Amino acid sequence: MKVCTRCGAQNSDMQKYCSNCQAVLPNIPSGTQMSIESETVMERYNQLKEAAEMVLCGEWTIEEYGDFLESVSRVLAQKEQEIRDIDIPEEAYDDFTDELQTGFEGIALYNEGIAHMLLYLEDQDPENIDHGLELVYQGNEKVNEAMKINRDNRKKLEEMYIDTSTMM
């Protein structure tokens, strides 16, 4: 369920607009979807690690590795833009500040890590891959932390909505 940040109404995960007040709903997965999202974040790290191992042992050419990193970079840029495009009502922005800041720190670490891995294409220094993977891992941790903050914020919002609806 998506909880409206403006009025607290519960909406289905498929809805883009609140059924009660027509506010734009944040496009942030809830509940069980968050654990799936967290697994996806770790899966991305594991894919990057596996690709690094493949290029280092000669199973992939440098060009194949470069193509892979570029495709991951495009996907991450698209996901980052989707997050930046979320319309958060001004009155709810303070509640999302920590989540957004932590998430964007994670995204920045991911991007920095991929940039380091791309340096391998120029100099074939395995240290660039190792350092890049470490940065991606740190980014992964930040993104997971942001998702935990999101779950906590949603829980608070749901509790506030339940408290106010029982008072009416």
Q: What residue ranges of the chain have pLDDT lower than 50? A: 29-36
Does residue 83 fall inside a structural domain?
Answer: yes
Q: Is residue 57 part of a domain?
A: yes
Query: Domain containing 135: what range?
Result: 31-167
Q: Is residue 39 part of a domain?
A: yes
Domain assignment present for 158: yes
Q: Write the CA distances from 3 to 103, 164, 168, integer angstroms.
A: 20, 14, 19
- Assess if residue 1 is contained within a domain: no
Residue 22, domain member (yes or no): no
Specify the pLDDT at position 20.
Answer: 81
Quote the number of domains for the chain. Answer: 1
0.85 exceeded by pTM: no
- Determine the pLDDT at residue 37: 53
Query: Domain for residue 20, yes or no?
Result: no
Q: Beta-strand (E) ranges in the chain? A: 2-3, 10-11
In a domain, 163, yes or no: yes
The set of residues, in sequence order, having a beta carbon less than 8 Å from that of 18 and lying 6+ positions away, is 4, 6, 7, 9, 11, 24, 25
